Structure 1
């Protein structure tokens, strides 16, 4: 760390001083004068290169220092060994005779060391003085060419002309795609800072895109993602998402999604920087959203006029975009680029951007109350509902998964659940309507399963009278796809759980929607389906044990038959089974009032 704190001039001063000492000792040599003279010539050439490096460093405030420091250390070691050898040549007599026996081999070795240092310095000077990337390899990296390439690319990114910087960044991105060792070298050699600087400068969209792609290829694990964040990457990404061209925002949105997924700390940093604002704004481009005020009751003619005036004031001049406002009053957000530029972007670029933004919101909201709250407090909730309804493919799926994660957070956060998912709230109603539509109308389990999961997470939100939720879930208990049916059983299990205040009313609704027969069929499937099905059956038995439907389905027999094996695999369910069986025996003829032991 002490070496890292030295300036480059200080770093190079020691080998320059050693070079002078070697040359002086060579002039004072009393033996092997020819060899010492040759060494002196080599060292003099090396010394000139070292002094050139000092001049370049003094004149270049943006000098890429990493290879200079590494090579300076290596040159210092070689000169120190050479100095020790040359100093021996001042001795005469017997020592001179003994030294002459091995002197030739030692001088050849010293000459090779100095020549290697000359090669390193020559390469170093060319990457600082030449245009573009230097394709040659210095001796110091002869056994690891990746190191030299990384040095050369980073130096060009930090010090080169714009076109060369873009080319070097693309090459670095390609290298980073190969393997983790290469990514580690790029990080260790200080590659993150120049890439972030290139992205932040906005010298050209191509430069920003290449920088974002390189960072995306580097940030594939938690450690590297954390390093990107600690070098102020988070604020730079938020800035780019707020004011850069769309084609630049596409890879940055993808990068935000990856970073949020890999590191909870980075996820929190993004939340503090309010990245949801530009993401929601970009997601809503070309999506006309209904204002919630228009959906609350029957407004008067006067109020409609006032609302229309307000909307006209809020909306951009082009009708195809939605301008979003957040309750936190942040000034950062919407693009500062011209609206005309936004309008002329191709539909393909806009779609890619929306897909990336939706995925970023999905990853950011996972387990995060702050992000989930920010999304639900904006028109982002309405936007997600609209896109789930209108879009297909990856965009629809990413929007749906964002809702799933917000619902999962709300399941364990009563405040968020009450504020974001009030059934009287138009945005919440729009989202719930789309979840139910997906469950009932979509044919893909890939979409149905997360929609069912989201409804299940919100089970404690719905009042007893909200039976329209139960019907679609019950209908999926008999789905031909076992995973869909199992997810429906899990969701219904949350509705009838003892923790749900309306568990009895929901249980009655399941019976009314004829949910017992498909539930009994589910018990004949795989272990996961059986276990989830039996949990639901036990809860129904506890709440509506006197139901004819349970008696006709021989629910008691089913529980008795499975009690021993299920309780052995899931000891935490033993008590639930016992209570359910006892409840059924109170109402069903032929039951065993005292129950039976099924302890393993």
Structure 2
């Protein structure tokens, strides 16, 4: 750390001083004069190259210091060896010469050390001189100091080129680093340890060319494979730079940067928080909503009178000019009930956001190829998914930007990766809402068009799409929202009960988990929901679920207990059959789940108490 704190000029002054001392010692040598003379020649070459490096160091606007410090430290060690050996050849007493025996072998070893230092300095100088690189300015030769690890030489060369080279060479070097980082974790560690993150961020932020930004973003993406490396990018003040580029860049660049945001948020909660603090969610939602509402707007405009169109234009102009951020309550009032058309103020919001998020490239974006537009949306949806995962605050921010309505629309219209990423974002938001009553009330109140649009699409996936990959997240989302549905919303429960008999055991188990959230005591309407679940004939498929694996048994048994406790005196529960099932439940799982054991005991006690003809001797419960 001490050497890192010194100025590079101070680092270079020490070996230059050593070389002068060696030259003086060579002039004073009395023995091995030929060998000492050869040492002097090697040291003179090193001294000349060191002085050349000093000139570069003091004049270059940007200097990559890492290889300089490593190589200069090794040169200094070898110059110290030379000084020690040459001084032994100075005139001295017979006794001193006997004690300090110098041999030709010592000089041969020293020559090897000095030749390595000369090779290192030649390599170092080639980095500063693009014309000597031999491959478009990138030095691909190996420094002797890194002969046992050629990757180190390449990393040094690529980083130096990114920091000090011409634009085409910088792009190529960034691509080379991206390729190295993709190969293995060791390469990633070398790149990070040798200071590669800062030059890549600089290249990304400069905006010198889209190719350069894409190369830099790709390299950073490949590096950001774990928390430690992501934290390095964060510590290099990378988050503000990334958000800045995302806000105003060509679409291809935005797509790659959005993927980088997703990768960093996935691996590090600090990055996740920093991105939200830098307000990355708004441009992501804006880019995701690009052209999403165009067709709906055309339909709506086609039905308007001339007077209405004039009024809408005035509203859009007023919305665009307004810079103050509205409160969440005022934003909610902008919506009309969910249908295939949207209010003028909502459309104005998206129009304003589209012009804000990269106005310099708006025309380029409109003329971009469809697959590029699609990839951008896929990347933005993935970024929102990772930002929302496990974060109540970020989930709230997405809902405050009216992201829910956009996500619901894309789940309805799109397929493949974009649909899946949007659905997973919705799932993370609903999970956050399940754990936070304020978010649940703000984003999923019953009169919210955005919330209704989301629920409509979740139920459509559960009922009409034969894909567990999509249905399971949809089922989880509905379960997370269980406490938001009033008792009269029985249409939400029916599709979940249907999935209890699904041939895919995971699907059936997820349905049981979600229904359990409707029927559990934490739900204020658990009595009403339990009766509705029973009325939808949930008991027969639930009995079959008890014959599945341990996971399905656990959740099936939990739901069955809730239904038994909250069913009242109705015989629709088939109390005798349920009591038999509870008593015959696999006892091997109960000792591992004491809460479930207690729940089963309560359910059996309740059935014995309220339904005549039932009896139990295997489990007892004393309230």
TM-score bracket for the superposition, by shorter chain length: over 0.9
Partner of 2:235: 230
Q: Is the 8 A contact 1:22 1:79 kept in 2?
A: yes
| Distance apart, 1:590 and its partner CA | 2.7
Please report the TM-score for the alignment, with normalisation by the length of structure 2: 0.90
Compute the displacement of 1:208 (Å): 0.4
Alignment of 1:206-285 (within 5 A): 206-285=211-290
The 1:382–1:308 alpha-carbon spacing in structure 2 relative to 1, beyond 3 Å, is farther
Please name the residue that 1:470 is paired with. Answer: 493
| Matches of 2:413 and 2:617, distance apart in 1 | 57
Output the CA distance in 2 between the equivalents of 1:3 and 1:477: 67
Q: Which runs of 5+ in 1 are unaligned?
A: none
Q: Relative to 1, partners in 2 of residues 1:42 and 1:303: Cα closer, same or farther, differing over 3 Å?
A: same
- Answering whether residue 587 of structure 2 is matched by residue 564 of structure 1, we say yes
1-structure distance, mates of 2:552, 2:186: 43
Contact 1:582 1:594 survives alignment (8 Å)? no
* Coordinate RMSD, CA, aligned: 2.7
Q: Which residue of 1 aligns with 2:563?
A: 540
- Counterparts of 2:208 and 2:200 in 1: how far apart (Å)? 12
Native 8 Å contact 1:324 1:378 kept in 2: no
Tell me the secondary structure at the aligned position of residue 89 of structure 1.
coil
* Cα distance between partner residues in 1 of 2:394 and 2:148: 48
1:87-126 equivalences in 2 (<5 Å): 87-95=87-95, 98=98, 102-126=102-126
Q: Is 1:520 aligned to residue 543 of structure 2?
A: yes
Deviation at 1:180, TM superposition (A): 1.1
Shift of 1:249: 1.1
Matches within 5 A, 1:82-481: 82-95=82-95, 98=98, 102-131=102-131, 132-288=137-293, 306-307=311-312, 309-311=314-316, 324=349, 334-481=357-504
Aligned equivalents of 2:305, 2:355: Cα separation in 1:
35
Alpha-carbon distance between aligned partners in 2 of 1:290 and 1:373, rounded to the nearest angstrom: 28
Worse-superposed segment, 402-411 or 248-257: 248-257
Decide whether aligned partners of structure 1 residues 182 and 563 sit closer, same or farther in structure 2, where only a CA change above 3 A counts.
closer
Superposition deviation, residue 277 in structure 1: 0.7
How far apart are 1:14 and its partner, in Å? 0.2
The structural deviation recorded for 1:285 is 1.1
Q: Separation in 2 of the partners of 1:280 and 1:460?
A: 27
- Do the aligned residues in 2 keep the contact of 1:517 with 1:553 (CA within 8 Å)? no
After superposition, the C-alpha distances for 1:255-311 in whole angstroms (9 at most, x for unaligned) are 11111010111100011011101100110111117999x99xxx9998886456424
Q: Tell which deviates more after alignment, 109-118 or 449-458.
A: 109-118
Q: 1:156-193 CA deviation, whole Å, 9 max, x = no partner?
A: 00000000001111111111111111111111111000
Deviation (angstroms), 1:525: 1.4
Q: Distance in 1 between matches of 2:277 and 2:533?
A: 43
Q: Is the 8 A contact 1:477 1:485 kept in 2?
A: yes
Change (3 A) 1:291 1:595: farther
For normalisation by structure 1, the TM-score amounts to 0.93
- What is the deviation of 1:545? 4.5
In the alignment, structure 2 segments of 5+ residues that lack a partner are 132-136, 322-343
Among 497, 502, 525, the residue aligned to 2:520: 497
